[in-house]
Amino acid sequence: MDRKNPDERIKPFRLVKYFTFTGLGIIFLVIVILSILNTHWVRAMQLKKSEDLAHSLIENLNHQVFVQFIIPTRVIFGKIQLSNPEQFERMDNVVRSTLHSFKVQALNIYNMENKIAYSFDPDLMGRENFGGTGYQRAREGQISFRLVQRGNFFRISLGFPKKIQLVTYAPLRFEEEMSRLTGPVLGVVEVVQDLSEDYQTIFRIQILVVITSTAGLGALFVVLIFVVKRGESIIQKRALEQLRLKERLSQAERLSALGEMTAGISHEIRNPLGIIRSSAELLKKKITPFDPSNTMPDIIIEEASRLNNIITDFINFAKPRTPSLSPCRIEEVLEKNIAFLAPQIKERGYTVKKNYRNSLPPIPADAAMLYQSFLNILINAMQAMPDGGTIEIEVLATRKILTVNFDDSGPGISEEILQKIWDPFFTTKETGSGLGLGIVKNIIESHGGNIRIENRKQGGSRVTVELPVAGTDDTLTSRAVTNEFIIV
């Protein structure tokens, strides 16, 4: 029989689940990477746009300074000297009127000796050697750009510095033609543009994309988990059902083979066994007057009876009879069991406590078969407590199920034995056939019920028998009546 763990039957589905979740994670990672790359692309475009704007701005400033300041100042004053307040004011008006609508945070104009001749910041006026490599390249006629980012390492790494500026160095040229800046270099212009607001907008768009993607994938992930859990539950349930069906089929095949074998040999064994027992009883009657101490006939009779009981167990297990259903009261069956076992209960000092609920309904059952099953359960409970103990019997009912609980105060059952307890021929007793509980289970299941055995937290074990109730009304929840049957 295939006894593979049901978990192994759903491994292909779990593989699909893992691939699905992994794929979802990869998709999310790809989206994040794409959003970051897209943001860098947008940042690059924005930087190029800002550089082009700075270039156009400097060309326009160059033209305005040359036309509105350099030429008129040369005509009026003869030479350019920004230390002259009047010339500085004229220069300042030209520069500010040209740049007033642009986000220019700072502007410095250097002379050919790397000295700041004009600046928005009065404290920088007259400073020498302040331009650096940008100044040197501009003096050679080249335009250079430098991106300055300010903020902590975390903000800069994630691409949203506290402040970001574009610093542009460009030559200030003499205009030979009004539309082209091709003349000699007169000085260097340093323009500092504040791009923080533009880059913050890009960063907000990036965060919005990531949040939107995360929310969408999160919702998809939740739905996927629900679908996967549901599918896994269905597949596992079907796998367990298939496993149970295979186990039942295998068990039915074994029982069928056992039934055929038992039917074939039962008569062959029982007939000579009956002759052996009758002959032993006759031999005992003849020997007793001459040799009363001879126990050989008694041994033959005892062993023949034991062998007959084993054969009976085989027949009952392999070919259980169909119950003859009629209205039956469980409490009456239990009372007969207790009455039958009364001598053993008294001899070994057991205590039997009964807890029957009021208004227990009659159920459709075969009283004789239930008597046999309950008797087996009670005997097992007594055998679990060889030095005496307490057996509690509780009977309660709902609208559909009548439940009988048998609790003992023994040492309980080990997990290893619990896993094998329903296997045919498995027994922990020296003289047992290992079919007693199997017969009990067959009887209960033939009534449409079920039986289970488990250990109690407070010690001992519990056998629970559930039988269907036919034609019941409301749930029976009346007060409990507790009786105690004690024989010491």
Given pLDDT bands bounded at 50, 70 and 90, which one contains residue 475?
very low
pLDDT above 90 covers a percentage of the chain that reads: 11
What is the rounded distance in angstroms from the CA atom of residue 444 to the CA atom of residue 373? 8
HSE toward the beta carbon, residue 251, CA cutoff 13 A: 15
In sequence order, the β-bridge partners of residue 403 are 396, 466
Q: How confident is the model over 226-264, as pLDDT tens digits?
A: 877 787 788 778 888 888 888 878 877 776 676 666 666
CA distances from 425 to 29, 158, 286, 433 (A): 59, 71, 39, 6
What is the rounded distance in angstroms from the CA atom of residue 58 to the CA atom of residue 168? 9
Q: Which amino acid is at 477?
A: T
In this prediction, residues 383-390 reach a mean pLDDT of 87
In this structure, how many other beta carbons lie within 10 angstroms of the beta carbon of residue 434? 17
CA distances from 136 to 59, 112, 144, 190, 261 (A): 19, 10, 10, 12, 110
Q: Is the pLDDT of residue 15 over 90?
A: no
Query: Residue 403 has what pLDDT?
Result: 93
Q: How confident is the model over 443-461, as pLDDT tens digits?
A: 898 889 999 899 988 888 9
What is the rounded distance in angstroms from the CA atom of residue 90 to the CA atom of residue 81? 11
Ranges in the chain annotated CATH 3.30.450.20: 6-205
In sequence order, the β-bridge partners of residue 180 are 177
CA distances from 298 to 267, 294, 303 (A): 24, 9, 9
CA distances from 466 to 322, 405, 480, 482 (A): 18, 9, 19, 20
- CATH superfamily of the domain spanning 6-205: PAS domain (3.30.450.20)
Q: Which amino acid is at 298?
A: D
Query: Residue 14 has what pLDDT?
Result: 62
- Please name the CATH architecture into which domain 323-486 falls: 2-Layer Sandwich (3.30)
Ranges in the chain annotated CATH 3.30.565.10: 323-486
Query: Residue 405 has what pLDDT?
Result: 93
Q: What does pLDDT average to over the chain?
A: 78
Q: How confident is the model over 302-352, as pLDDT tens digits?
A: 777 777 777 776 666 666 677 888 999 999 999 999 999 999 888 888 999
Q: How confident is the model over 357-376, as pLDDT tens digits?
A: 878 899 999 998 899 889 98
Query: Residue 392 has what pLDDT?
Result: 93
Beta-carbon contacts of 93 under 8 Å, excluding residues fewer than 6 positions away, are: none
Q: Is the pLDDT of residue 402 over 90?
A: yes
* Residue 365 DSSP label: E
